[in-house]
Structure 1
Amino acid sequence: MTRYQLYTRLRHALTARHWRGHGIHSPMMYRFVREVVLPQRRRRLPEVIAIRYGAENVKIVRSVAELTDGEGSKRVVCLLEPFRTAQERRDFDRWFAETHVVAAHLQGLLVLFFDPKLQKQFFRIRN
């Protein structure tokens, strides 16, 4: 783990506001937190998300460089170990500004939901 990853994990632990769904006003995101995130261990989350939303609808990527606009037919994208460097964080911020997506930043995992019906939001969730 790099220094920047340690910094982002510490920052996430101190600034994440939503825990167990408190303060989340999106019914879809509240359901995701209560039914998917809370009952599972952090290491199993990508596997559980793939089962929950269907393996054909979920894409798992390892870096921001692998993200594309809209992700084609995929509805959910899991970004493992996001923000290894400050440059990767800036690349994601630039990509996020140009893309309509709902993002759930869990510690060590970033889950992106591509649904045009949902309002663009970014949630930092403590898990």
Structure 2
Amino acid sequence: MGLGGTAKKIQTLADKAEQTYKRLNDLRDEVEETQRTVTDTAERVGHLETEMAEQRAVLDAVAEEVGVDLEAVSTDAHIHEAEEEPTNEAENGADTPKSTGTAGDTTADGTTATDTPADDTGDGA
């Protein structure tokens, strides 16, 4: 084998090494971006958990003031949901949406979720 063949092999090896180095740097950048995304997501989840706990405290206070037993309502909703779940999810489709347990459930004052007027203002109040 002559020097020309060796030089070509060395050049090919150098090109592959350069491509590998570039891919490695690209992967490093992707990993760093993923780590930033995970950190940001963890912070957002933490904020959402805090906000949800605050909203739960407000809901508990309002429910106590109006005389609603939240544990009983929650238990009824879970029982209602369990009764509606299909016994064989594979046969009925595993991606079938589950009931939230609100439509038609009786509230503490004897009304159902459909008896209460919907908020059509869009302001959430």
Q: TM-score, normalised by structure 1?
A: 0.30
Higher RCO (CA 8 Å, separation ≥ 6 residues)? 1
Between Structure 1 and Structure 2, which shows a larger proportion of strand residues?
1
Between Structure 1 and Structure 2, which shows a larger proportion of helix residues?
2
Q: TM-score, normalised by structure 2?
A: 0.30
